Amino acid sequence: MSRILDQRVLLLVMSLLTSLQSTKVFSEWKKCGDRECEKAMSRVQATTDYSGPDCRYLNFKTGEEIMVYSKLSRKNENLWTGS
């Protein structure tokens, strides 16, 4: 019985470590205002009109204010999330 319990605890720890590692990798690619990316990290004003290719993209007009919640880094540093 004790051996089965030890194996279950080991599996739980391994699962937790794997989950933390994947979170760490993701966080290196994403910059946020807070841990959950719920707090705005900046407020910007659109300098040009933009119409996204589909509904996942924010459409805006010149002069509109946009609240930015996260920014990707590395290859896609121009990809931000906002409202």
- How does pLDDT run across 8-28, given as a tens digit for each residue? 665 665 665 555 444 444 556
What the block records as the tokens of 79 is 């990809």
Rg (alpha carbons) of the chain, rounded to whole number: 20
Task: Give pLDDT, residue 77.
Answer: 72
Beta bridge partners of 71: 31, 80
Residues of the chain with pLDDT > 90, as a percent, come to: 8
| Domain made up of 29-82: CATH architecture | Roll (2.30)
- pLDDT class for 6, splitting at 50, 70, 90? low
Q: What is the pTM of this model?
A: 0.58
Let me know: does 39 contact 52? Beta carbons within 8 Å: no
Beta strands in 1-83 (DSSP E): 30-32, 42-45, 65-72, 80-82
What the block records as the tokens of 28 is 């290196």
